[in-house]
Amino acid sequence: MNIRRTIKTRRAMTAVAITTGLVLTVAGCGGGGDDDKPKSEKSSSSSGDKGDAGGEKNAEPQKPAEDSVLAEVKGEGGLTLKVTSAKRDEGGFLTVEGTVTNGGSKAWVAASWRGDERELTKNGGSIAGASLVDTEGKKKYLILRDTEGRCLCTRFTGGVLSGQSVDWFAQFPAPPEGTSKVDFQVGAMPPASIELTEGE
């Protein structure tokens, strides 16, 4: 009798468990069906938004790159110089960055950009001869150098090939805080007027 009761009890509990499981499954599917439609619509629209945002983000790297150009000048031998950043750093420095593109038919070695000073010849083809001019303050700032005359700037080792664009940087003493605009000058390139920003 005890065995039969145990078997009957187990069968009853199993049946109750299965029934409960089916009820919960049906309720979950039934209730979730109505909820899932708006969610799926929301998720599809939000995923569409994300896709659009992602598309915009993919398109944005080109736009901000253009928008972030502080100045662009063209000069000698089909060269294009862009200044993309001019930030004050801690310690009284100003770091200027940008790109140079060789639009000419021959490789460019930056010989005229290294400056005329004897001390700067050790830098080879570089942007060592660049300067900043504060026209309002009537001051000229030269690129910072170490004790051996090496500039704190980009050296164009091997030159810049035809059609190639190369990133560059140069560090200067920072003009006074009241100065927000300077002219960047290098070689025979026209002066590029640039806005200064505070570093993060």
Token couple for 171: 């560090």
* 152 Cβ contact list (under 8 Å, min separation 6): 143, 144, 145, 146, 170, 171
- Bridge pairing between strands 197-198 and 79-89: parallel
Q: What are the sequence ranges of the domains in the chain?
A: 2-60, 70-198
Give the fold, CATH level 3, of 70-198. Immunoglobulin-like (2.60.40)
The type of residue at 49 is D
Overall pTM surpassing 0.85 (yes/no) = no
Token couple for 44: 């599809």
Residue-wise pLDDT for 77-114, tens only, equals 899 999 999 999 888 899 999 999 999 999 998 888 88
The total number of residues shown for the chain amounts to 200
User: What are residue 182's phi and psi, to 5 degrees?
Assistant: -140, 165
